[in-house]
Amino acid sequence: MKHNFGAGPGILPHEVLKQAAAAVVDFNGIGLSLLEISHRSAEFEAVLDEAVKLVKELLGVPEGYSVLFLQGGASTQFAMVPYNLLPEGGKAAYLESGVWANKALKEAKFFGEVEVVATSKESNFTYIPKDFTIPADAAYFHITSNNTIYGTQLHEFFPSPIPVVCDMSSDIFSRKINVADFGIIYAGAQKNMGPAGTTLVIIKDEILGKSGRKIPAMLNYQTQIEGGSMYNTPPVFAIYVSMLTLNWLKSKGGVEAIAKENVAKSKVLYEEIDRNPLFKPVCAVEDRSDMNVCFVAENPEHEKPFLKLCDEKGIVGIKGHRSVGGFRASIYNALPITSIYVLIDAMREFAEKNS
């Protein structure tokens, strides 16, 4: 058995994979593969409608918001957000809390002035900046809720005088949020929602149409809303698997239930990291992520042999990002707590042999 701690594409529920595999051969008994039916067919329109419905139900999306399934990954949203929200000659505010936040603000600079309200770059992003002022004259305030590379997470969101745009790629559906606090939420599917290939975007309708820009159709949120995520052929398979995963989440009791599991998983793993003399954490305690647990070996020479031990025990995807080193346990929704205990047992065994 493999224990998949990969940062993304991440683990998916086994029952979802079985359903998706069957649909590739024969979708719902119609005699055709999901991959070859028309996206305009009644069968796929039902899938998309159900996916949108589940997003609204699981996150409590209020009236006045649109739900989209787009292509291009969260990285395309780095440009779509300022393209649609930032007027020419205007300013946007960004919180720089990691690599992806940095990439997002770099894209925004093509469209106007960017004010970095705070950054933790000087510490290699080991904490979330907190003492700053959000400029009321900016068009929007962009934040990244969870940082996969560094293992930090926003556990509370900042009150803002301007629309808040949040990249929730790595912790969407992992905990309860108040969608009404945000102007735009976007998230690549490949962590907690489905396979790579589609990106969820939730937009407060009233913030659109104010930039004064001429926007290419594919990059225009309004065009995508009017087309119902089908201005062009959508990523059919990715949306279908996302729908299955959201149904799986609903069957488990929804976001509130999975949040309790996620906290329990991260708690026992952080306790072992703090207790074990051969390992140490890399980020501020108050900002520790419940999705991506990053840690390093006290002795760098222990890194390779520990990775070898993990491999022997079926623990995969545990190697840390090259900019941090060490280890990264991504514990997304579908990872069972039993896999956490397999990792903990490996850490304890390694400590007994090498202390």
Residues with a catalytic annotation lie at 100, 167, 191
CA atoms within 13 A on the CB side of 302: 19
Please provide the average confidence, as pLDDT, over all residues in the chain. 97
Handedness of CA 176, 179, 181, 186 (dihedral sign): positive
| Residues 167, 290 within the same domain | no
Query: Shortest CA distance to 248 belongs to which of 353, 146, 333, 145?
Result: 333
pLDDT, tens digit (0-9, with 9 covering 90-100), for 106-139: 999 999 999 999 999 999 999 999 999 999 999 9
Task: State the average pLDDT over residues 274-278.
Answer: 98
* Whole-prediction pTM: 0.97
Range of the domain at 269: 253-354
Residues in the chain: 355
The last residue of a domain, from among 220, 251, 282: 251
Q: What is the CATH number of the domain that holds 132?
A: 3.40.640.10
Q: Are residues 241 and 324 in the same domain?
A: no
- Whether 169 maps to a domain, the answer reads yes
Single-letter residue type at 209 = G
The pLDDT tens digits for 229-244 are 999 999 999 999 999 9
- DSSP characters for 15-73? HHHHHHHHHHHSSTTSSS-GGGS-TTSHHHHHHHHHHHHHHHHHHTPPTTEEEEEESSH
Could you say which of 251, 277, 305 is where a domain stops?
A: 251
Statement to judge: residues 183 and 84 lie in one domain = yes
| Per-residue pLDDT at 1 | 84
Give yes or no: residues 321 and 174 share one domain: no
Structural domains counted in the chain:
2
CATH of the domain at 343: 3.90.1150.10
pLDDT for the residue numbered 76? 98
Are 113 and 100 in a shared domain? yes
Band of the pLDDT at 323, cuts 50, 70, 90?
confident
Considering the domain architecture, whether residues 33 and 155 belong to the same structural domain is answered as yes
Residue 1 lies in a domain: no
